[in-house]
Structure 1
Amino acid sequence: MKSESTYHYQFGAIVKITLRDGKISDEEKTFLSHLATIMEIPKEEYDHIMQNYITYPLEPTTTYNDRLGSMYTLTKLISDDKTISGEQQTFWLERMAKAIGFTPGNVKYIVAKSLAVIEKRIDQETYKEEIRNINK
């Protein structure tokens, strides 16, 4: 395989989360394909990642601030993607939030708030502040 794209390992981690049970639905295939396009993952690289997803590490971010940054990016990507909506967005984001290290008990609240504030087209720092103040 030639050089890797900028989001090679991030996309590999998303694929690994998606395929952690070894199965993939048509909806998931469509979403991953579309996400690869958005992340500028070339077809050859996409195929390589899909075949070798198990080798990609899942390393949760170590700080809350880093998790918020990752969640901001994921929420933006998923909310901007017109191939996925409603419950599908929530389902995907909850899976991703757990994988990047948010506490399972807080995931539902973080995802709901993330989707609500991302619609306002806010910047990352404002997003982080909104999520930090979720219970205030």
Structure 2
Amino acid sequence: MDEVCEDEWSDEAMMNLVKTVTRSCEVSGEELHVMLNLRAQKKLDFVLIDIREMHEYSQSSIKGTDMLLPTSTIHQHMEELKKLSGKLLIFYCHVGGRTSQMIFILRRMGFSNIAHLSGGIDAFHGEKLKNAPLPKNTRS
């Protein structure tokens, strides 16, 4: 990805980034960092969902995580995910294995505006939090 200051992103460049992410169903750690900065500036909207278990989240989480939706209980919250399907949903786990399976399942269920953080939280070099309070939208 080109080294572009987040302030210099045009609407077209942001749309191209979102199209690339949704087409590939993957977002790199660098792209997610840019997207989180753009979201903080209210230039981009998406939902960042951690699908790890609560104890993993408390050890380390990405600053800006909107939901904690552990894979052990996600089947109980499919209706909630369907309600969010109009937004870009970005999932992450530890190294990307659980989210790549999740993306496969959700695509078969008809979700199209979804992606996962390739390499998981381990590949993200932006701001991470230890012992962060659980997001308001935690589902267990």
Give TM-score, length-normalised by structure 2: 0.28
Task: Specify which structure has the higher proportion of helix.
Answer: 1
Q: Greater relative contact order (Cα 8 A, min sep 6): structure 1 or 2?
A: 2
Give TM-score, length-normalised by structure 1: 0.28
Task: Specify which structure has the higher proportion of strand.
Answer: 2
